[in-house]
Amino acid sequence: MRFFHTFRRGRSSGLNTERLAAVVDNQSDPLVMVAPRDKVDDEPSIVHVNPAFARLAEVNADHVAGTALWEAAPWLPRSVRADLDDLITTGRVSDRDDLAFATPSGTRNFDYEVISLPDGSAALQFTDVSDRKHAIELIRHQAFHDPLTALPNRTLFFDRLAQAMAATERDRSNVGLLLLDLDQFKEINDTLGHAYGDQILSRIGGRLGAMVRDNDTVARLGGDEFAMVVVGATEGQMREIATRAGNEVARTVELDDIAVEVSASIGGAVAPDHGSDPHVLLQRADVAMYDAKRGGLPYKLYAPDDDRESLHRLTLMGDLDDLLDGELRVWFQPKVDLRTGRAGGLEALARWQHSRMGLLGPGQFIELCDLAGVISDLTFRVLDMALAGVSDWPGQRVAVNVPVRNLYDRTLPDAISANLKKHGVAPERLLVEITESEIMEDHRTVVEVLEELHSRGIRISIDDFGTGFSSLTHLRRLPIHEIKIDQSFVGGMLDNENDYMIARSIIDLAHNLGHQVVAEGVEDTATLTLLRELGCDMGQGHLFSRPGPVGRIRLQVEAGPALDAEGALLWRSSPT
């Protein structure tokens, strides 16, 4: 508007109409000058428009003079006429910000100003702020929405949840909260890459967003975690919605030439029954979700009775970074050759030296690592520490447990070989232990990875044998060196005829297939004697030695054999 004010100041200095018109025409903002009016009933008529206004109104700038303003620009809002009338009656100039104009070229947003000119005419100047408004809206949207899925983010989620919960107090109604966590999504990212992982998250976010009502909210809280706020939902309705959400997640995602199947674990909580604070309600839905994941359930509603145990697990879950960053310990337990009495190898066992809870066994954290998607990271750290522990122990073999999901990764043999080379350990000194129940599907990739490991000299051991009901055909296809009888059968051999028959059958089957047999969980001399009579090759258990740090185990092993020639026990198991 500065040139109008210049016009006022320049009146005495001879600034003429031609010069004013030149200034007007060179303005990039649309401008229109309206003829003087004596009263509000007079129709405003155009004196002059600049090219920018002519383009906006789609009129001919050379022919529009004398035309009624509303005839040339019928799309102008009523506020413009009101401001022009106000200028006549009160002499007050007006300006307005951010009004939407439905112009011939489309709806745009403008700031505009009405200014009185010295000759009684008026000028309207319009500033297009559409881009600025769009930028502001984009910034606001980015502040409250997830950039990948365009769903509300954690900040907006809590705002919506708080509003919904406040409404429950007024209306005495319920609000349901569902928390969804995708299962093993980290492995999908690691296998396919983050680009595919992002596409999967985007597709699933779209599916979840499409299934709720306008007054409900679906948000992405981060990573592979989504939340749904369902207004007025009962516990029964929550289960129905959770089932629908689980089905939407489970629908195959087609990415290029890859078909990916994903599942979710879902936890639910209902306000006000399970909490009257948004953060408390989310925490309790989180507890329920991890209970569902731990139990292999698609959905679980929060149960107060499970809260203490669940919060303990959640605390440990939150400390998993500490486990991987320095609190992991690897202990060893010898496997004793039942014929010679000497140690014929070691098994590496993970321990967590927790900063507050002390030493934790694998039963307290392995499952949590699996749920959190860091089991592969844990496995490679255990492998690295186990190989480091025996690197200066010539000839000593070590077994390391490897989850079956690692066996779907064709780069696993290279990664293990690199670790062996790093520590200078020969491949034949490593046994990769796989739980029998985990390889029941006989997946082609798993078999090929095992064969590649075998071809490199790495030995394969089937752990917990007898619990997975493997077929003979399956066993014959796998490049197995060793079978370990599950300790549940070993511990029941003396008292349970079925356990005895199973253990004996496993020993005979393994020997017929050319495999070595290890009995796990040997706790007493009577069981030891029976295993020797059945021809079992090796034994492992507290009778010989409890797991311990490599230094203590090495002293025990190098002190001499565990058994004498008649099978009598020479070692004394450590109490820790």
pLDDT of residue 255: 82
What's the pLDDT at 8? 42
315-347 pLDDT tens trace: 788 899 999 999 999 999 999 999 999 999 999
The larger pLDDT score, comparing residue 87 to residue 241, is at 241
For the cut 60, the answer to whether the pLDDT of residue 6 exceeds it is no
Which tens digits make up the pLDDT trace of 410-432?
899 999 999 999 999 999 999 99
pLDDT score of 97? 84
305-310 own/partner pairs: CB under 8 Å, 24+ apart? none
Reply yes or no on whether the pLDDT at 4 is more than 60: no
Mean pLDDT, the chain, as a whole number?
86
C-alpha 282/C-alpha 11 separation (Å) is 69
Is the domain defined by 145-316 classed in CATH 3.10.20.90? no
Would you state the pLDDT for residue 438? 61
The label of the residue with tokens 């999908």 reads 188
Q: Is 352 within 8 Å of 390 (Cβ atoms)?
A: no
Report whether 304 contacts 321 (CB < 8 A).
no
Domain layout of the chain by residue ranges: 2-134, 145-316, 319-558
Sign of CA dihedral 276, 280, 286, 289: negative
Q: Are strands 482-485 and 459-465 parallel, antiparallel or unpaired?
A: parallel
Structure tokens at 129: 């702020």
Task: Give SS3 for 88.
Answer: helix
Q: 381-405, pLDDT tens digit by residue?
A: 999 999 999 999 999 999 999 987 7
Whether this model's pTM surpasses 0.85: no
What is the C-alpha separation between 397 and 429, in angstroms, rounded? 4
Q: What is the 3-state secondary structure (H, E, C) of 395-421?
A: CCCEEEECCHHHHHCCCHHHHHHHHHH
Examine the pLDDT at 14 and tell me if it is beyond 50.
no
Q: What is the pLDDT of residue 327?
A: 96
Cis peptide bond prior to 272, omega within 30° of 0: yes
Mean pLDDT, residues 7-25 taken together: 54
How confident is the model at residue 306, as a pLDDT?
A: 62
Question: pLDDT tens, 521-576?
Answer: 999 999 999 999 999 999 999 999 999 999 999 999 999 999 999 999 999 765 55
Residue 131 has pLDDT above 60, yes or no: yes
What's the confidence (pLDDT) of residue 539?
96
Contacts of 48 (CB under 8 A, 6+ apart): 21, 24, 32, 33, 65
Confidence grade of residue 294 (pLDDT, cut at 50, 70, 90): confident
Distance CA 217, CA 177 (A): 10
List pLDDT tens digits, range 18-74: 666 676 777 788 989 899 988 888 889 898 889 989 988 888 988 888 889 988 898
Strands (DSSP E) found in 391-523: 398-401, 430-435, 459-465, 482-485, 516-520
Domain at 319-558, CATH homologous superfamily: EAL domain (3.20.20.450)
User: What is the number of residues in the chain?
Assistant: 576
Judge whether residue 299 has pLDDT over 70.
yes
Query: Tell me, what amino acid is at 219?
Result: A
- Report pLDDT digits (tens) over 70-127: 888 988 888 888 888 888 888 788 888 888 888 887 888 888 888 888 778 888 889 8
Report pLDDT for 575.
55
Domain spanning 2-134, CATH class: alpha beta
Residue 325: the pLDDT is 92
Kindly tell me if the per-residue pLDDT of 470 is higher than 50.
yes
CA angle 566–570–574, rounded 5-degree value = 145
At 170 the pLDDT is 77
pLDDT of residue 443 exceeding 80, the answer is no
